[in-house]
A and B are shown apart, each in its own frame.
Chain A
Amino acid sequence: MRKVALILFILLIALPAWLGIGYALLNGLGLVGFKSDGFTTDHFAALFSTGRFAESFGYTLLLASGATLTAAALAFMVLRVLFTQRRSVLPSWFFLPLAMPPIVAAFFGFHFLSDTGLLSRTLASIGVINSASDFPTLVSDPLGIAVFLTHTLLSFAFFTVLFLLSASRRDVTVQLDAARTLGASAGERFFKLFLPLVLRRNITLIIVWFVFVLGTYEVPLLLGSQSLRPMSVEIIDKLRGYSLARIPEGYALSALWALFIAGFALVIVQPLNRNYGR
């Protein structure tokens, strides 16, 4: 029985990801694939010499950390008001944005934030702007503002629910009550007790969420700019573009990115393993 479990673990969990990374590495090194002419480091070198790697890598990190941190800060601002509310149930509308997949969020973002979107129409109807061209470009703009806003909304909804759930846990409420009895003000209770407690408890999930945003694909595909693209979009574009010569470059990039994520996963192992107890 143990052997069966081990074989299934290797075949379905451990092996596929590394087979994929292995193929991407070999293709990137010119050893396999349609255009392979033997070992070369040119494709990897090309990534660094053009600066595309640094640009895309930097942008992805900035987008993910920006959206995660902004959303967490906003969620804590909401919690600052709501943390004293003792409710064992959250109304179901709190969970509505969590029912939205990224592709739907991107679609909503497009029709809300574009030049002729709902926001622009609303501003035009109340006379703030005169025509669609007066509305600032948020979709497909060089900075990816719509991408950032959409991810911030999704992350904010997730964090608010996550933090509110921890807020009504018994061990938290008991400590908050004790602090109140000892004369701590609402501000002190929030900043010195609640905030550190909730942050420490949820830090792993915040990091996992950050990793998800790092892998964002659908949202920048619909809302992002052509020039500044996060890793997933950049890689798929190279792999599926019209130029066959760029495919090994795409695989080289994919291998590097997957290895980076594998390294990042090490950060999550430690807190995950803590659950084991004893």
Chain B
Amino acid sequence: MDVKLTRGLLFIVYTLPLAVLLMLSFAGQWAYPSVLPEWELRNWASVVRPDGLGALIFTSVILAVAVAVVGTVLGFFTGWLLLRSRRRKLILWLALVPFCTAPVISAANLQFYFAWSGLTASFGGVLLAQLCIATPYSFILFSTFWTADRKVTDDAGGTLGASVSERLWRIHRPAARPTILLSLVQLFLFSWFEYGLIQLLGVGQVRTLTTSVLQFTLEGNRSMAAVACCLLVLPPVFFLLFTRKIRIADGLNR
């Protein structure tokens, strides 16, 4: 098959979902079998209404930023344990278990403890529960940073008299910059995209953009669900457009 044809087909397949979401978010009446709906701007106005989607954006952003920052700091710090561990495989496996288990299943299993400590239906509870998955995730991302080469550097720093905290902050942190950035982005997206855990432990009290998508869908409010979908997708998309093109050579051929 032709290169141009393949790229054209890919372009259609990749941009179609976003185009459909945008169309639905501006849709009013949409009788079968018309392909295009009647247009309406009303749905988007709810973003700025005080009781509208604006509050949910705020909750989603705060939650995702908190998970990304705290999870990355903890992942970087606990990952440092790998440097001198003789049980590296065991430690990695312990971190992989929560990472591989679906968040909604982890939430179901932990629900009892959260209810017992009064953390269900609270923002703090959801944050803590997400961190129980995000920290292992960050830990695994940093496992590719805390390697044998790092140990040599760490030893050299120690020999020259740097304390542990100095080594972590002044020697390893600058070198870990790409992994730190990667972890921040990945953890933000994990929390931003997450639905099952928030729904189960938030018990309808903690509402984010993801939970509102299903809620609007169940209420039969297609257009508002589409607006919520657009709000979920647009930040990562803007990030992509803002950076224009992803330089893959830089990222991988280090």
Q: Does B112 contact A (CB under 8 A)?
A: yes
Give chain B nearest CB distance to A157 CB in angstroms.
Answer: 7
Interface residue SS majority, chain B? helix
Once the chains bind, are A278 and B98 in contact (CB under 8 Å)?
no
Q: Tell me if A's interface is mostly helix, strand, loop or mixed.
A: helix
Q: Tell me whether A9 and B78 are in contact (CB under 8 A).
A: yes
Tell me whether A5 and B21 are in contact (CB under 8 A). Answer: no
Q: How far is the CA of A168 from the CA of B73 in the complex (A)?
A: 32
Min distance, Cβ B136 to any Cβ of chain A, angstroms: 5
B101-112 vs A, Cβ < 8 Å mask (1 yes, 0 no): 111111011111
Given contacts A107-B226, A266-B93, A273-B88, contact A17 B98 (CB under 8 A): yes
Bound Cα distance A270, B89 (Å): 7
**Known contacts A20-B109, A122-B35; A102 and B249 CB within 8 A of each other:** no
User: Once the chains bind, are A102 and B15 in contact (CB under 8 Å)?
Assistant: no
Q: CB-CB contacts of B83-104 with A at 8 A, as 1s and 0s?
A: 0000011011111111111111
User: How far, in whole Å, are A164 and B236 apart by their CA atoms in the complex?
Assistant: 20
Stretch at the interface among B42-50, B170-178, B209-217: B209-217
Question: Across the interface, do B106 and A20 meet the contact criterion of CB distance under 8 Å?
Answer: yes
Which chain B positions have C-beta within 8 A of A170?
A: 253
Contact with B along A221-235 (1 / 0, CB 8 A): 110000000011001
Interface size on A, residues (CB 8 A): 99
CB of B101 to closest CB in A, whole Å? 5
Chain A, Cβ-Cβ closest to B18:
A96
Decide if A19 is an interface residue (CB 8 Å cutoff). Answer: yes
B233 proximity list for chain A (CB < 8 A): 99-101, 104
Question: A261 at interface (Cβ–Cβ under 8 A)?
Answer: yes
A99-B237, A121-B35 known; A93 vs B14 contact (CB < 8 Å): yes
A96-B210 contact in complex given A169-B252, A211-B100, C-beta closer than 8 Å: no
Per a CB cutoff under 8 Å, which of B20, B147, B241 touches A108?
Answer: B20
Known: A16-B98, A19-B109, A108-B229. 16 other contacts (CB 8 A): A8-B74, A8-B77, A8-B78, A13-B132, A82-B3, A97-B17, A99-B237, A107-B226, A108-B17, A111-B226, A125-B35, A165-B252, A217-B102, A217-B196, A251-B109, A273-B92
9 tightest Cβ-Cβ pairs between the two chains A and B: A215-B102, A20-B109, A101-B193, A99-B236, A124-B33, A88-B249, A265-B96, A278-B148, A17-B98
Give chain B's interface residues, CB within 8 Å of chain A.
Answer: 1-3, 6-7, 10-11, 13-18, 20-21, 24, 32-35, 74, 77-78, 80-81, 88-89, 91-106, 108-113, 131-132, 135-136, 139-140, 143-144, 147-149, 164-165, 192-196, 200, 210, 213-214, 217, 222, 225-226, 229, 232-233, 236-237, 240-241, 243-249, 251-253
6 chain-A/chain-B pairs, Cβ below 8 angstroms? A16-B98, A23-B112, A82-B7, A90-B246, A92-B243, A269-B89
